[in-house]
Structure 1
Amino acid sequence: MKIPHLLLIPYPILGHVNPFMQFSHVLAKHGCHVTFLSTEFNLKRILNNNSFTCSSSENINLVSLPDGLDPEDDRSDFRKLLSSIKSTMPALLPNLIQDINKIDCIIVSINMGWALEIGRRMGIKAALLWPSSATVLAFCDSINRLIHYGIIDSQSGNITSAFNFLYSSLSSNNSLQILYNFTLSRLALGKTFDHLVQEMQTLKLAQWWLCNTMYELEPQTFSISPSTFSPIGPLMLLASDQNPNPIPNSFWEEDSTCLQWLDQHPPQSVIYVSFGSIAVLKPKQFTELAHALHHLLDRPFLWVVRPSNNNNNVTYPQNEFEFKGSSSKGKIVGWAPQQKVLNHPSIACFVSHCGWNSTIEGLCGGVPFLCWPFFSDQWVNKMLVCDLWKVGMGFEKEDDEEVISREEIKKKVEIVVGSEEIKSRSLKMKQLVLENMRGDGGHSSRNLDNFIHWAQE
């Protein structure tokens, strides 16, 4: 049987690059040849990061195309980046594919569906690797039907009536409100909504919709989703099942000194705070969190404050604690080896933005969550964490400025850390994931084998 050659094309943000790099290693370990397409801007960042292992396997080849932006342009501007990619990369991709010679399948993330259209013209198979939960994919896949039935206004994206009939099996009291917020406030806005509607249609060119999750995490969603939905995760475990060290996937170098610092603290004592690669706290919110961690909570903390925060008008509070280096009370790092941190016995809870990668890593670490979503799918992931799996809690905003107060942070940390029920459920979720990854790997392993066999045909 021939060895398939797969071209992976993630949207160039860390939340998409991570699972795609993990998937590259999974495919390579199964004997596939993998070409990983990055933007030139990101490839430079990857190669400059000593802790980012991209091509430990000779079966993985890194290539790049320009995204059309200048180095100093703001790539956190979604519309600007997406528009530039769509006006630049499609004209260059066919030549790249021809230079590679033989590609059997193109695998894309959302926002890169244009590559599937090119693949169709060139007679290449197509697949989608969805970077978030299957629940979010099921909702996005339903948008055109919701428009057809008048539940969503196609002009504004506003929801005009309830659609809990689509998600009644989630058994969540506030799932409708969460999905409403997800659609109305953070997704279905103007051109972003138009893009999503068109993108979901384009992604139907993919014969497989691969999900970085497992059936046991979202059984209600898979029970109502199309047969094309195929859980193949968690990819972080599949990628490292023959490697004791997690694959570092970051645009910033990880500060491993935090692991030695964690070694100095007793079990379940440290609050871990990280908001991912994009979200930025406003100065007032930053101050409230700093005061809660340093003054109000009688616990040590490890806080990830990305280097890029300095470029987003964040003013650090003065004389609160040392923001660089460590002390007995707290340690600040620019980026952490998160998988190792969340599996460290000293971690008591995870204050998280609820990005899907972080959510999966927290589940695999068996740690309770304190959910602090900022945008997009993070609100749905919070619903899964708090209402479906019941392994965490959210925060309440108490003023007109949408700020979570230091008192609220203190209260919720103490509740979660002190809850034996949440701790017990967190450990049970960890065991659920790990047990289903043993042996034949259950649904995920079978789906992966079937996908690779299909790509070989």
Structure 2
Amino acid sequence: MAQAEEKREENHVLLVAFSSQGHINPMLRLGKRLAARGIHVSLATTEIVRHRMLKSSSAGAADHVTGIELLFFSDGLSLDYDRKTNLDVYMDILGKHGPSNLSALIKEHYTSPKKLLCLVTNPFVPWVSDVAVEYNIPCAMLWIQPCALYAIYYRCFNKLSAFPTLTDPDMVVELPGLPSMEKEDLPSFVLPNNPFGSFPKLFSELFQGMEKFKWVLGNSFYELEKHVIDSICELYPIRPIGPLVPPTLLGQDQELEDASVDMWKSDETCIEWLTQQPPSSVIYVSFGSIVVLPAKQMEAIAMALKNVKRPFLWVVKPPEFPTPDGAGQLPSWFLEETKDQGQVVRWSPQTRVLSHPAVACFITHCGWNSMLETICSGIPLIAYPQWTDQPTNAKLIVDVFKIGVRIKKEADGNISSEVIEKCIEEVMVGPAAEQLRKNAMALKAEAQKAVAADGSSDENIRLFVEEITCDSCKKDGLPNVGNLSHEGQDKVSDKGV
């Protein structure tokens, strides 16, 4: 009987995520798919996530999400520290304190009869692979941006292709599997004027040390990015297992519960408002949880929405900390002058919004999670990228996926209401509008096929589970994590698994 109990609890995987909702939710959805194949799954992230979850919900303790146990460790900072404004400092402190605190969590939590088969991390906490080496456990990386970004970063930080420099900042970049990219199409972290020094350093160390990762899994699907996936396969392959979105967006059982967290409370009244609008009439506007637009850009968007005289739903999340010059705030006149035209909410249940028949298009910052949710909803996009992967995502929207248009900035970096109005009309009723909708619906169908039984992503998940369990079989002679002495840990090879 004791042996049966031990066998039942043998296979455990620990997911480790950066403390952002957009990083945690794809991890949880991967965890849900692993759990469906008999793996016990937990997710570890920093204490700030528990704090935000408790603030956004009246549900009490935040220790499980649809069967996935949540574990928390300290990032070395107080809960009221402004991590977003001091991003470089935060990444540095997290890199110093995260490894030892995560290691202590693993040692405490994974004692016999639990057998930890694998750690799965994401690109923004790459030091997790060193913790995996400490315990002689293989490590996988879940790449949470498009496979195109994985290929760009790999080639850039391994110096396999030419990228803009201080002496040649406007060069056009040519890479296999991708269209030609100008400066405005590249991720901000590869540009010479990138203000965040911690991220090029992080990515350089990550992509020059890829041997630490036995698997690279991608939150995408082969049919969406096949050319770029094929182009990188001989360098360091990525295995697409997505899209990691709620099951309702994938045509799966409507009763299946999504695995996700909400750090901000959604305003559900917007769904009732949407139901009162005509089909394919509403412009949905959201720039995610991090982006705070300058006052001039908020004014331009507000003016455009008013002038097009179409119903809109605009998510305006109040900044967590004070901002200069009214950044992130609505113009004082806007609510009164558009009260019969649209609705403004602080946060929305986005997947329910995108799948609502009243929604016609989405003005987005081009975060990858939002893009995948939109692709799986089959609606066109209006791209207004800000930083990190978003400019490249916008390029994909327009020139590769062909499911939307892009708002072009003026020379001073601002946008005009006239340009936004033109983009809205182009997507709603312009000559290309019908083809954009057809392309979006075609990709929606491909996404559903990829995650269905025997689809490309489903097969890659099956293969991953098969490999981590077989890998464990080969190591049956090794002690459980909880029984590893620090003396034994010190003898583990620094070369990774």
Same fold per superposition (TM over 0.5) = yes
> Offset of 1:293 from its aligned partner?
1.1
Aligned AA (1:220) = H
Q: Choose which of 35, 38, 45 in structure 2 pairs with 1:31.
A: 38
Letter in 1 for 2:90: L
Q: Distance in 2 between matches of 1:223 and 1:438?
A: 22
1:195 aligns with 2:202: yes
- CA deviation vs aligned residue, 1:401-434 (integer Å, no higher than 9, x gap): x111111111110111111111221112212222
Please say if residues 130 and 211 of structure 1, whose CA atoms lie closer than 8 Å, have aligned partners that are also in contact. yes
Q: Which amino acid aligns with 1:436?
A: A
Root mean square deviation, CA, Å: 2.7
Asked if structure 2 preserves the Cα contact closer than 8 Å seen for 1:51 and 1:248, the reply is no
1:256 counterpart (222, 244, 268): 268
Which residue identity does 1:447 align to in structure 2? Answer: N
The 1:288–1:245 alpha-carbon spacing in structure 2 relative to 1, beyond 3 Å, is farther
For 2:434, which of 391, 395, 420 is the aligned residue? 420
2:335 match: secondary structure:
coil
Query: TM-score scaled by structure 1?
Result: 0.90
SS in 1 for 2:468: helix
TM superposition shift of 1:173 = 5.0
| Cα separation, partners in 2 of 1:70 and 1:54, compared to 1, 3 Å | closer
2:48 is matched with: 41
> Is residue 158–residue 188 contact of structure 1 (8 Å, CA) maintained in 2?
no
* Deviation string, structure 1 residues 89-131 (Cα, Å, up to 9, x no partner): 2122222111112321111111211111121121111000011
Q: 2:64 aligns to what SS in structure 1?
A: coil
Q: Counterparts of 1:332 and 1:85 in 2: how far apart (Å)?
A: 35
Q: What corresponds to 2:108 in structure 1?
A: 99
Alignment CA distance shift 1:238-1:245 (3 Å): closer
Seen in structure 2, the aligned counterparts of structure 1 residues 125 and 186 have a Cα distance that, compared at 3 Å, is farther
1:270 aligns with 2:282: yes
Match of 2:185 in 1: 178
| Counterparts of 1:51 and 1:174, CA distance in 2 | 47
Equivalent residue number for residue 466 of structure 2: 453
- Find 2:310's aligned residue among 284, 299, 302: 299
Give the unaligned 5+ runs of structure 2: 1-6, 471-497
Alignment of 1:57-96 (within 5 A): 57-58=66-67, 60-76=68-84, 77-96=86-105
Determine if contact 1:8/1:107 at 8 Å carries over to the other structure: yes
1:329 aligns with: 341
Give the corresponding residue for 1:434. 448
Per-residue deviation at 1:335? 1.0
What is the rounded CA distance, in whole Å, between the counterparts of 1:275 and 1:82 in structure 2?
23
Structure 1 match to 2:212:
205
Q: Kindly provide the CA deviation profile for residues 22-61 of structure 1, in whole angstroms up to 9, marking residues without a partner as x.
A: 2222222222111211111111212333399873444x21
Contact 1:51-1:254 at 8 Å conserved across structures = no
Per the normalisation by structure 2, the TM-score is 0.83
CA deviations on 1:314-364 (whole Å, 9 max, x unpaired) are 3432232159xx943111111111111111011011000000000000101
Matched, 1:143 2:151: no
| Cα separation, 1, equivalents of 2:211 and 2:340 | 53
User: CA–CA distance in 1 between the matches of 2:323 and 2:208?
Assistant: 35
**2:75–2:98 contact (8 Å) kept in structure 1:** yes
- Residue 29 of structure 2 corresponds to 22
- 1:183-209 CA-to-partner distances (Å, cap 9, x unmatched) read 215758644322321122344301000
Q: Which runs of 4+ in 1 moved over 6 A?
A: 51-54, 156-161
Matching residue's letter, 1:199: L
Residue 250 to residue 204, structure 1, CA distance change in 2 (3 Å):
farther
Q: Structure 1: how far apart are the matches of 2:187 and 2:332?
A: 39
Q: How many corresponding residue pairs?
A: 445
From the superposition, tell whether residues 449 and 238 of structure 1 become closer, same or farther in structure 2 (CA, over 3 Å). Answer: farther
Larger radius of gyration: 2
Letter in 1 for 2:439: R
On the 8 A contact 2:170/2:182 being kept in 1, the answer is: no
1:7 and 1:36 in contact (8 A); partners too: yes
Distance 1:158 1:96, change over 3 A: farther
Distance verdict in 2 for CA 1:180–1:63, change over 3 Å: closer
Quickly say closer, same or farther: Cα 1:233–1:158, change in 2 above 3 A. farther
* C-alpha distance in 1 between matches for 2:157 and 2:268: 46
Structure 1 residues 63, 11: CA separation in 2 closer, same or farther (over 3 Å shift)? Answer: same
Preserved CA contact (<8 Å) 2:158 2:207: no
- Post-superposition offset of 1:280: 0.7
Which runs of 5 or more structure 1 residues have no equivalent in the other structure? none
8 A contact 1:363–1:430 mirrored in 2: yes
Report which stretch shifted further, 1-10 or 413-422: 1-10
Contact kept in structure 2, 1:343 and 1:365, CA below 8 Å: yes
Give the equivalent residue in structure 2 for 1:318.
Answer: 332
Cα distance in structure 2, aligned partners of 1:407 and 1:5: 54
Q: 2:398·2:404 contact (CA, 8 Å) conserved in 1?
A: yes
Change (3 A) 1:335 1:189: closer
CA drift of 1:369 comes to 0.4
Q: What is the correspondence of 1:300-449 to structure 2 with a 5 Å cutoff? A: 300-308=311-319, 311-313=322-324, 314=327, 315-322=329-336, 327-400=339-412, 402-418=413-429, 419-440=433-454, 442-449=455-462
In the other structure, the counterpart of 2:238 is: 229
1:371 to 1:351, Cα distance in 2 relative to 1, 3 A: same
What is the CA–CA distance in structure 2 between the aligned matches of 1:158 and 1:454, rounded to whole Å?
A: 45
Seen in structure 2, the aligned counterparts of structure 1 residues 186 and 230 have a Cα distance that, compared at 3 Å, is: farther
Q: 1:176, CA displacement in angstroms? A: 7.3
| Cα shift readout 1:109-154 (whole Å, capped 9, x = no counterpart) | 112111111211211110000110001011111124326x7x3589
Change (3 A) 1:152 1:438: closer
- Deviation of 1:79 after TM superposition, in Å, equals 1.1
Alignment check: 8 A CA contact 1:157 1:184 kept: no
Equivalents in 1 of 2:33, 2:142: separation in Å? 13
1:307 counterpart SS class: coil
Query: Distance between the aligned counterparts of 1:127 and 1:20, measured in 2?
Result: 12
Are the counterparts in 2 of residues 157 and 190 from structure 1 also a CA contact under 8 Å?
no
One-letter amino acid matched to 2:136: G
